[in-house]
Amino acid sequence: MKPTILIIEDNEQNMYMLSYLLSQSNYNVLKAYNGKDGLKLAHENNPEIILIDIQLPDMDGYEICNKLRHNGLPKNTKIIAVTSYAMGGDKEKAIEAGADGYLEKPINPETFVHQMESIINE
């Protein structure tokens, strides 16, 4: 059985695409549509991997990364920002906030799982 992945994403289409691709690759997928629910699911389930959108309705992905890293989440949990923010410095800002990696949207369905796995296996 592959690891559990928590997706924190407010866009229905993006959530569907990510969860479909990961389920097809035998990952166990948990879904949260906002930061508050994402933090709750993370602490209840201790997923091995968390994918976080940066633009969320209640708090941004940077704040969520920071809270996850400083509130008892296992140190080996991999956090990846998946975002359409592609400005200079955004990747660094995500890493600074506690993300292990950064993937830009729109995702390529044919390469996404491989890209994610290359980050978590670094």
| Residue with the two structure tokens 């923010």 | 85
pTM: 0.95
Extended beta strands in 1-122, E state:
4-8, 28-32, 49-52, 78-83, 101-104
What integer pLDDT is reported at residue 86 of this predicted model? 67
Structural domains of the chain, with CATH: 4-120 (3.40.50.2300)
By C-alpha distance, which of 100, 96, 97, 98 is closest to 115? 100
95-118 per-position pLDDT tens digit: 999 999 999 999 999 999 999 999
Evaluate whether 69 touches 75 at the Cβ level (below 8 Å).
no
pLDDT tens-digit map of 29-84: 999 999 999 999 999 999 999 999 999 999 999 999 999 999 888 989 999 999 88
Helix (H) or strand (E) segment spanning residue 22? helix 12-24
Decide if pLDDT at 87 tops 90.
no
What span, in angstroms and rounded, lies between the C-alpha atoms of 106 and 27? 21
Task: Give yes or no for residue 85 having a pLDDT over 70.
Answer: no
